[in-house]
Structure 1
Amino acid sequence: MLTPALRPNRTSVAAKNAAKNRLPANILRILARASAFRTTLVRVNFAPGWYPDNADPRFVRWWDGSQWTPHVQPRQQQTDAHHAEVEMGGTGQDRVAQQVQRAGIQNPVSGGGGTLFTEPVLVVNQKAKLVEMSNSYVIYDQHARHIGTVEQVGQTGAAKALRAFTKLDSMLDVRLEIRDVHGRPLLRLVRPATVWKSKVMVERGDGMPIGEIIQENVFGKVRFAFVCNGMKVGGIYAENFRAWNFSLRDHTETEVARITKTWQGMAKAVFSTADNYVVQFHRQVPDPLLSMIVASGVTVDTVLSQNQG
């Protein structure tokens, strides 16, 4: 016999059933599915651990086995870096000023908003590794402030082995992510496998296509065209056969930026294939040309210098 306190309230139950009967059939189905989903969540016993935080995809949140806790930490970004790779010291932050001067920039360039798309000077340093299986870069502004990174992603184990012991990886797909200082992807680059002319597809961090960087010649001073929506909006023009310096031009053949390869130091030169570049904008340029130029600071090394090595 139920005590009065535990006896169900028949009036309230009837009122609830009547309210449900007045709801449209599609709403009732949604409520039923939601109830089943909640039941399933209760039955499934997830192991304690870090899981993606729905409130902010940049972080993971700790699940203690029964409930979410307030503990969060930055989400680890995808990278193809392997534990067998041995880095050779830093990435050049202490030498950024020297690199800028070697690129012909004697005085600080005014302007800049602290991002990859607003700074007038970008210093792109490839991480030097004794054993290299993937491309990794750090990007600074002219004052040696860290403003971005680049990581190679999507490699298979076989591709890493080819990279470590041969040069045949130059004929495989290369995928790079250009990220801001918080690790958010800003641009994605894909260079399909090739044995002749290179082509790089550029898209935004959300996957929206921007354009292509297409190699126009094989012999002589190499040239690349920036093609967006079927139209050439600019290009990359090597100024010597060794492809150390590049002129970046708009659709009128006017130079709007430059890429200069800088001396990376004796240790890097002897024991690694890592390269350093300085990208200097002469003036502000609009998108999509801006994104193509930023992408070129890394692409030049990936599609040209790596193949030369």
Structure 2
Amino acid sequence: HRYWDGNAWTSHVSDDGIQGTDDIAAASAPQTEQSAPSGLDRLDAGLTIGDEGSKVDEQLHGGGRRGVGIEGTIEGGGGGILTEPILVVNQKAKLIELSNQYTVFDQHGTAIAVVNQVGQSTARKVLRLVSSLDQFLKTRLDITDSDGRVILRLTRPGKIVKSTVIVSDGNDVELGRIVQQNAIGKINFALEVGGERLGSIKAENWRAWNFSITDAADREIARVTKTWEGLAKTMFTTADNYVLQISERAPEPLNSLVVASALSIDTALKQDNRGLG
């Protein structure tokens, strides 16, 4: 939000209660096709390590905590995130993370979508740099295809204990909500459309590594498995990796909620495990 002093717009801005400044001349200048990155953005990019696509094969076909043990190739899929039966969602590993970024791969290791946290002000990034309070503020993720089109948008309003993730289409029309049901024990989420529960996401253990996704009749239609990112990334970064396996394609809008499940779980739960900075 930009503040009005009674005569003109000022450089004083706020983002979810975080105060800061943003030059009014720069804000009103015509936007170029690609804005130059800020110093914080360059820091964020410079401290990104590794290749999030390097272990997709192991995540799919490996055993234990490193993979889900799929044999061969699963039939079906049209090359998009809403049609592929297998999605690998890997977060970019960063020594200092100022924004959430993920790459989504199909079962062949092809990157078919990217996920970026959007709408962060400089003040918000500074807050994230020096503390963990950012986890309680509104978070928005845009999922875009290889052509740059927004396919899904995930919005998690500010939260204290339990999270709600609003899933919208590329035109920002709400499709449904993923609502956290509890904060202690095996974590469960409700998949809701217009207040009606169409399905659930159920953690199979208290550590929240494996989730079963069921429809309204409590039949499993998909699974989300968190795979181990390796010792170095576990120790020095906050990056998490997930595999989504869809065994039965649900009708829309439930299908979109299922596809959004891995990102919603990560957005809802991951920062809670980090504690306060």
Letter in 2 for 1:99: Q
1:260·1:277 contact (CA, 8 Å) conserved in 2?
Answer: yes
1:199·1:214 contact (CA, 8 Å) conserved in 2?
Answer: yes
Name the residue aligned to 2:58: 98
User: How far is the alpha carbon of 1:89 from its aligned partner?
Assistant: 2.2
Distance of aligned partners of 1:193 and 1:261 in 2 relative to their CA distance in 1, 3 Å threshold: same
Matched, 1:233 2:198: yes
Name the residue aligned to 1:89: 50
Q: Structure 2: where are the runs of 5+ without partners?
A: 1-29, 62-66
- Which of 179, 182, 203 lines up with 1:214 in the alignment? 179
Matches within 5 A, 1:85-164: 85=44, 86-91=47-52, 93-101=53-61, 102-164=67-129
Partners of 1:162 and 1:244 in 2: CA distance: 29
User: How far is the alpha carbon of 1:286 from its aligned partner?
Assistant: 1.0
Partners of 1:79 and 1:221 in 2: CA distance: 41
1:79·1:151 contact (CA, 8 Å) conserved in 2?
Answer: no
User: How far is the alpha carbon of 1:207 from its aligned partner?
Assistant: 1.2
Letter in 1 for 2:74: V
CA displacement 1:246-265 (0-9 Å, x = unmatched): 11111111110000001112
CA displacement 1:179-231 (0-9 Å, x = unmatched): 11111101111101111111111110111111111111122101110110121
Name the residue aligned to 2:21: none
Distance of aligned partners of 1:246 and 1:114 in 2 relative to their CA distance in 1, 3 Å threshold: same
Q: Name the structure where strand makes up a greater proportion of residues.
A: 2
CA displacement 1:73-119 (0-9 Å, x = unmatched): xx55999981111100211x221110012113122111111110111
Moved runs in structure 1, 4+ residues, more than 4 A?
A: 75-81
RMSD value over aligned CA atoms?
2.0
User: Per the alignment, in what secondary structure is the counterpart of residue 190 of structure 1?
Assistant: strand
Letter in 1 for 2:124: A
CA displacement 1:55-87 (0-9 Å, x = unmatched): xxxxx8xxxxxxxxxxxxxx5599998111110
TM-score (norm 1): 0.73
1:121·1:141 contact (CA, 8 Å) conserved in 2?
Answer: yes
CA displacement 1:244-293 (0-9 Å, x = unmatched): 11111111111100000011122211110100000000022111111001
CA displacement 1:6-63 (0-9 Å, x = unmatched): xxxxxxxxxxxxxxxxxxxxxxxxxxxxxxxxxxxxxxxxxxxxx89xxxxxxx8xxx
Partners of 1:121 and 1:306 in 2: CA distance: 25
Letter in 2 for 1:240: N
Distance of aligned partners of 1:121 and 1:76 in 2 relative to their CA distance in 1, 3 Å threshold: farther
Matches within 5 A, 1:24-39: none
Letter in 2 for 1:243: A
Distance of aligned partners of 1:186 and 1:77 in 2 relative to their CA distance in 1, 3 Å threshold: farther
1:232·1:251 contact (CA, 8 Å) conserved in 2?
Answer: yes
Distance of aligned partners of 1:287 and 1:115 in 2 relative to their CA distance in 1, 3 Å threshold: same
Aligned residues: 237
Letter in 2 for 1:199: T
User: Per the alignment, in what secondary structure is the counterpart of residue 256 of structure 1?
Assistant: strand
Distance of aligned partners of 1:127 and 1:303 in 2 relative to their CA distance in 1, 3 Å threshold: same
Partners of 1:222 and 1:285 in 2: CA distance: 22
Partners of 2:171 and 2:37 in 1: CA distance: 18
TM-score (norm 2): 0.81
